[in-house]
Amino acid sequence: MNEQTAGRRVVTNMSLSIDGRYAGTDPLDMGWVMPYAVTDVARDHLAGLWESATTALLGRVNAEGFLGFWPTVIGGEGVDPRDEGFAKWLVDTDKVVLSSTLHEAPWERTTMVDKPTADVIEDLRAAEGGDILVLSSASVIKALLAADQVDRLAVNVFPIVLGAGPRLFDDGLPAGRWALTHQAAGEHGTLSLIYDRVR
């Protein structure tokens, strides 16, 4: 039986290569993602995640990348409506950014927090709201997986082997079962997979 955690769900989203990596040897080079991130499967995947979320949880580095780029998409000529919808959601939603170095948020509707990830999730779960969406912040997702605090695991799998670089799933994670609740395949061999934690 697939039982969701009572209250707010923690939903994580990450793009992976077929050898299980979220980055190559240069973690800031996301060029390998771009041919696949603009496919219908990838865009529909993201739209299905943010529509039920009321909080975005990000690490500092990822926040700087996301919040530096996505607001510029709004109102752009020829922008895919799904991309603009996500950009507007990201600007308008409550954002929590985990950082031990940045204490004042340069973005609207953003709270900076310097606490262990599991403690932050406990606080967010206790508050009212929809899903808590963790957007491609590997360090945050890894900490949540290690604490068994992920309720929904969403991944885009792109048909590329990076050959080197960090992996999302480290040895020593808590054992557990997951139920596949959505799958889609599309252009360039992009796969969208969503798993719910079976508790």
pLDDT digits 0-9 by tens, 65-76? 888 889 999 999
Ramachandran angles phi, psi of 3, nearest 5°: -110, 125
Distance of CA 87 to the CA centre of its chain: 14
Residue 105: predicted pLDDT: 85
Which residue segments constitute the domains of the chain, with CATH numbers given?
10-198 (3.40.430.10)
Type of residue numbered 53: A
Average pLDDT, the chain: 92
80 with 47: CB under 8 angstroms?
no
Distance of CA 114 to the CA centre of its chain: 19
Q: What is the pLDDT averaged over residues 149-171?
A: 95
104 with 35: CB under 8 angstroms?
no
User: Is this model's pTM higher than 0.85 or not?
Assistant: yes
> Is residue 3 pLDDT above 80, yes or no?
no
**Secondary structure (DSSP) of 1-12:** ---PPSSSPEEE
Helices (H), 15-146: 34-37, 40-50, 60-69, 81-92, 117-126, 138-146
**Burial zone of 146 (CB within 10 Å; 0-12 exposed, 13-18 middle, 19+ buried):** middle
- Percent of the chain exceeding pLDDT 90 equals 78
Q: Which two structure tokens, joined as six digits, stand for 190?
A: 């992009």
